[in-house]
Amino acid sequence: MRLSSKTKVHDFKVGVHTSIAGGMSKSIERAVSLQCTTMQIFSHNPRQWRKSQITREEGERFAVLRKKYDISPVFIHASYLMNLASRSDPILRKSIKLLSYELTNADALGAEYVILHTGSAQGENEEKARNRAVKSILKAVGTTTYSASLLLENTAGERGDITSSIKTLSEIIDTCHSDRIAGICIDTCHAFSSGYDLTSYEGIETLISEIKEYVGLDKLKLIHLNDSKRPLGSGIDRHEHIGKGFIGNRGFKKILSDKRIARIPMILETPKKTEADDKRNLKTVFSMIMKGQKEING
């Protein structure tokens, strides 16, 4: 399914995960310098349980800048430390508190969404682990009224993963039955590593059909656009630069030309040693969009 000839590059919401070093508002300045129209951040150090308060001044400054530069939506990626399916009571308690903290930070910044990896089964039955994740999510969102919503992200099929398929994501969403869960985020590297062949129209159709059947295409709120360092079905989460991995240019051209997902915000989480890496990956993505338009328009 191809894009309409009326669709232009600027219709796409494309951004990167930007650093908050130097203050929250600095992340917007970095996004703007890369010509992003959407963005993703961590709201704190994602590898620490320690929490620090976002001041009112920080939140207001962030809101002013994102409005000035029309950055929307803003996504916060939740900490990697959380495991809402953990069998360890201390880890479970800290994870629930940390998820509440992420939502509080999102509201302080006016961010629309918090992206969540629900956790790992850690050798337990996956269904039991998903049920534990459901209870944990409901505890985290049940004590306070938040404006921000949660997006559940698919995983790569690594050992213990409980959400590597669209069906398993939908099971958590349906069981939670909470209006705080707005939908899902699909990571292309994770999908490919878990067995969805995104190099072919058939594989892309399978993924989109499952989203429509189990979740609803209207609940696909974000795509993490990442290539994969490992082959199809590897079950290993290793991101690669766009077009340089096993999905390759062929796959991303197909993905970016599908009108059903073309207007969904896309965030790149590709490897980054310097700012030049983000520029190069964004250039590659927009080049694919432009070439697609030339082909459509003859």
Tens-digit pLDDT profile for residues 93-115: 999 999 999 999 999 999 999 99
By CB atoms closer than 10 A (0-12, 13-18, 19+), residue 116 is buried
* Residue with token string 């880890």: 91
pLDDT of res. 292? 60
pLDDT of res. 144? 84
pLDDT of res. 272? 95
Q: Which of 102, 239, 240, 278 is catalytic?
A: 239
- Compute the average pLDDT of residues 273-295: 84
C-beta of residue 286 within 8 angstroms of C-beta of residue 14: yes
pLDDT of res. 275? 82
Averaged pLDDT of the chain = 93
- The question of whether 77 is a catalytic residue gets the answer yes
Q: Which of 66, 132, 224, 230 is catalytic?
A: 224
Domain parsing of the chain, residue ranges: 9-297
| pTM of the predicted structure, to 2 decimals | 0.94
What is residue 244's DSSP assignment? S
- The question of whether 153 is a catalytic residue gets the answer yes
CATH number for the domain whose boundaries are 9-297: 3.20.20.150
- The question of whether 174 is a catalytic residue gets the answer no
- The question of whether 241 is a catalytic residue gets the answer no
- Its sign, for the CA torsion 111, 157, 206, 7, is positive
- The question of whether 179 is a catalytic residue gets the answer no
- The question of whether 187 is a catalytic residue gets the answer yes
- Compute the average pLDDT of residues 28-43: 96
Helical H runs in the chain? 24-33, 56-68, 89-109, 126-142, 166-176, 188-193, 201-214, 248-256, 275-297
- The SS3 call for residue 17 is strand
- Compute the average pLDDT of residues 152-162: 96
Higher pLDDT, 143 or 284: 284
